[in-house]
A and B are shown apart, each in its own frame.
Chain A
């Protein structure tokens, strides 16, 4: 009886905390619903008008119209899965980079990691001539490029003790450097190589087969499992590195491992779908506004939001001036830029 009463008192005392928890879970549920709706819309969108029921049947190859089966299974579904895997991966890597660098403006594209990948791809396509075969040449070079950038950033933050703001500024400089180097390579490329490279940098969700989607999904999934396991380590890092050490975290090791994982994931994604900026920056921020900095919710939230934003961006790119499909990388930058500005000025006001 008395224990029941005391637990009731505790429950009442915790009500504010429970409300906050419920709000976070509700947000995740809403994001999941939006993602589902976006999936259905993306399944419908296209030059071939069909009822939703037939499309859903088409996923399992059960539609009466074999054309629908083919369009859904070979064209629209891989595209949707690519957008979900890539968006989720970019969203999560942005979320983790922001945690380990303790900087709200960190992401693969603002730190220059994407630009490094782009430089690597340029080397692969133009210098090494790996552009026309579908092997691992371009992805591996893109990965090497982004790791190079990651090491420069890690080196700067470790040995020169640059402040969190400084890291993003350094990222701007590094991005500029690699963009310049990529442009130089483009200058010496022939027409075919140039077209391949430019097309690669546009970003494209439609050129991935099921094998590519599967590989990307596995990489992202491994990353998700790792992050979920370390969710409280990121929470501890938000309290500053000294406090994190005092809570039993090997901060240097955690930073290094996560930096490498983020680069691996974003460069794998970038190497398949091209340069897609700002997803990693926007997605965690949208989630943070609602749930705060608790990574228990921030991690699934960033995954869902990243996937949703990229899928909606792609939907926009495909439908706004049909039948032309606009490059997705340009769309996310175009829509993400203003939000980035908003965050910058909002952050400035708080200080």
Chain B
């Protein structure tokens, strides 16, 4: 269980970006943080693992405050997949190996090797691809490698900052399906910042709507009603059910 308590954050010389954010998320649940540009979605995500220093508040994970831990200890519990994939000339295998860096002392052990192998097999990153450089892969493959690296950290919380924004529709579904499966099987809490409401409705269990640095609504699918969509995004829209799946229909 991850419990976020009263997180506030502001850039130097700017008004508060995050005001008193509190919510909790059970293990094995997939949370979507939604809101329009500038609502503070990515900022909130980055406050959980020292990328941005929160002014005040706590992020409690099973009774420990993540914000009081060292970078290395947080990295053993929380993994992060960023929006942009680095264009670095490192082999896929080495990039995934980076996920073991928080556990490393003098060098990697046989156990680290084993975990990396398992993760790569699980995400179907086997064979020739392991020896290729990251910047030679397609966008979908790159994002899968980033996901594998995050899983090699053996995290309890997985943070994803718009991981699908530059992928085609097939890869979007593939990547999110992998995340969903991992959440359920490994009892990991995943938190994703995502713009595509249809993808969020399809894969996520919890929805956190943000508006101007505050939580507007939090809960399951039912929080996404016409009034909320109008308030948060400023569009006249509704959620409709089509063949058992939910989708957002915009009227204008």
Contact = CB atoms under 8 A, between A and B. Distances in A.
B195 interface: no
B70, B90, B97, B129: residue with the most chain A Cβ atoms closer than 10 Å: B90
Interface string A15-50: 111111000000000000000000000000000000
B38 interface: no
B170 to A, nearest CB: 24
| Nearest 10 CB-CB pairings of A with B | A16-B131, A248-B75, A246-B80, A248-B72, A248-B102, A292-B89, A17-B131, A239-B86, A17-B130, A238-B88
Nearest to B117: A10
Nearest to A253: B71
Given A13-B127, A242-B80, A248-B76, A293 B88 contact: yes
Given A10-B117, A242-B82, A248-B76, A235 B130 contact: no
Contact of A246 (B78, B84, B94, B130): B78
B98 interface: yes
Interface in B55-106: 70-76, 78-80, 82, 84, 86, 88-95, 97-99, 101-102, 104, 106
A93 B84 CA distance: 28
B133 interface: yes
Nearest to B105: A229
Nearest to A16: B131
Contacts, number: 93
Interface in B134-159: 153, 159
A239 B131 contact: no
A230 B94 CA distance: 15
Interface size class on chain A is 20 to 34
B101 A288 contact: no
Interface of B: 46, 49-51, 70-76, 78-80, 82, 84, 86, 88-95, 97-99, 101-102, 104, 106, 117, 126-133, 153, 159
Given A20-B131, A250-B71, A233 B93 contact: no
Given A247-B98, A293-B90, A240 B82 contact: yes
Contacts of A74: none
A235 to B, nearest CB: 6
A243 B133 contact: no
A232 B104 contact: yes
13 contacts: A10-B117, A16-B128, A16-B129, A17-B91, A17-B93, A232-B101, A239-B88, A240-B84, A242-B46, A247-B75, A247-B99, A248-B101, A293-B89
Contact of B51 (A229, A246, A293): A246
A232 B97 CA distance: 9
A298 to B, nearest CB: 10
B95 A239 contact: yes
A181 interface: no
Nearest to A18: B131
Given A10-B117, A17-B91, A246 B75 contact: yes
Contacts of A263: none
B94, B106, B117, B128: residue with the most chain A Cβ atoms closer than 10 Å: B94
Interface in A127-156: none
A20 B133 CA distance: 10
A292 B87 CA distance: 12
Contacts of B70: 248
A245 interface: yes
A10, A238, A247, A250: residue with the most chain B Cβ atoms closer than 10 Å: A247
A17 B133 CA distance: 10
B101 A294 contact: no
A235 B157 CA distance: 23
Given A16-B127, A16-B129, A232-B104, A249 B93 contact: no
B92 to A, nearest CB: 8
